[in-house]
Each structure stands twice: as C-alpha cells, then as structure tokens.
Amino acid sequence: MAKAAREIDLIDARPAFRQADADALNQRFEGVDTMTMLRTVFAEGLAGHVAVVSSFGTESAVLLHLVAQADRNVPVIFVDTLKMFDETLDYRDTLIGAFGFTDSRVVAPRPEVIAAKDETGLRWSYDPDGCCDIRKVEPMARAKDGLDAWISGRKAFQSVTRQNLPRFEVEDGRLKLNPLGDWTKDDLEAYFAEHDLPRHPLEAQGYLSIGCEPCTSKVLPGEDPRAGRWRGWDKMECGIHSPISAAPETGDSDEPANQPVF
C-alpha cells in the first residue's frame, strides 16, 4: 500500500504538459486560422484551466477580442506593477467592458516586498531586473498558480528575442499559447480596422510598446517596436517571457543585475 501511495505521488508530481504535447498541438493546428484554433482549444478543453495574460498595451485589443469571441468566460489576468500609466488602467477597463469578459483579475506586488526592496520606489532607475522581479515576475508567478496553461500576446516581429515563436510551447509544465506569434504588424492593423477596436490612448503619441511608466519611452521612426522599453539598458524583456526567474522574497541581493548602456 505504501509503495502504491508513493507511485501515485510521483505521478501527481509530474508536469501537466510535456514538449510532446506542444509538438502535437502545433502539428494539429498548423495552417488553422487563429479564431478556429482558439475556439477548438477552449471547446475541447485542450489547455485545461487556461487564462489570458494581457499588458493592455497598444496591440492587446486584438488578442483580447479574439479570445472574447471564442469564449468570454476565459479569465483575463493583468499584472499591475503600481507603476503603470493611468491611460493603461483606463484602457484595461475599456476593453474588459467592451468585449464582455466575465472574469477579470488583477495581481499586484506584495506590499511587504515593496517596503523591503523598493521603499523609495526608485529601484527601476538602478536595477530594472530587480524591479521587474518584485513588481511583475513574482506577482505573475502567483497569478499562474492553479493554471494548466496561459495565453500570451507575443508576436515574432516585435523584437529579436521573440523570433520563431511556436503557437504552443511548454514552460515549467504549463502549456503556453502564442496565438499571434506569426501575425505581422499589417495583420494587426487590418484586424483593428475590420473590428473597429479601441486604440491605446498613448499610441498616437509614439508609444508603440507600453509597460511601466518610468521605463517606457516613445519609439523613434525606424526603431524596433520595443526600443522604447528600458531605453539605455541592456534589457529587452521583463522576465515573464525569458529564462530569468523570480527573485525569492527574502535574502536576494539588491545589486544591479544589468549595467546601463550609454
């Protein structure tokens, strides 16, 4: 009996999804349009307990509209770093209401962690990796508790760090969906126009990729769409979509992980 119990424990501890599962899904949905893929994944429960994660940035309306058309009961998760533009918070409310989502969730950094590690609120200015860890990566890790899969809005064209994105991948045993991975900027613009989707109020001012207010700047003509993020630093991702892991809540170093590039 004890041996059987141990075997059950081992089985239960295994990741819910493996690379073979992602490979099979990529093969099944190769050439299938995004809406059909999403509707099938939701209707057949192929991703288990799944949620869409959104930054409510300049391109977020496309993915959110697609998900809402497929199943508006899918939870929408927003990580509020407490450093967001007021316009982003307003845009979130606009899209959630316009698309009729029934389950909107907000996760924020723990107050005690902010008090211990960013009391002045200026960690972004000397250690952007550390700031992202406590304000975005750790809260996002909590938000994913209980999820079997999550949906990302990443697109391959956004930066060199996002090239060759598969539709399905596995991360820490969870299935990760990138429904817009192969969409181009023209595809997004056409979808915005076809469905008359609301635009982020800061986009017209030259903010093409929007994150936290202190670390977001306007993008100049000809620049990478994400060039306005962490300008002057050797940093392209917040850590949610990279191998960088969340820092533990206690005992980590406050020394800068990156050096500024001038």
Active site residues: 238
Instruction: Return the percent helix, strand and coil in the chain, to nearest 5.
Output: 40, 10, 50
Question: Which residues share a beta bridge with 53?
Answer: 77
Q: In terms of C-beta distances under 8 Å and separation of at least 24 residues, what long-range contacts does 199-208 make, across chains too?
A: 199/58, 199/61, 200/56, 200/57, 200/58, 200/60, 200/61, 200/87, 200/88, 200/91, 201/87, 201/90, 201/91, 202/58, 202/85, 202/87, 202/88, 203/58, 207/58, 208/58
In sequence order, which residues have a C-beta less than 8 Å from that of residue 195 and are 6 or more positions away? 65
Could you give phi then psi for residue 133, rounded to 5 degrees? -55, -50
Measured between alpha carbons, how far is residue 84 from residues 92, 158, 179, 191 in Å? 11, 21, 25, 26
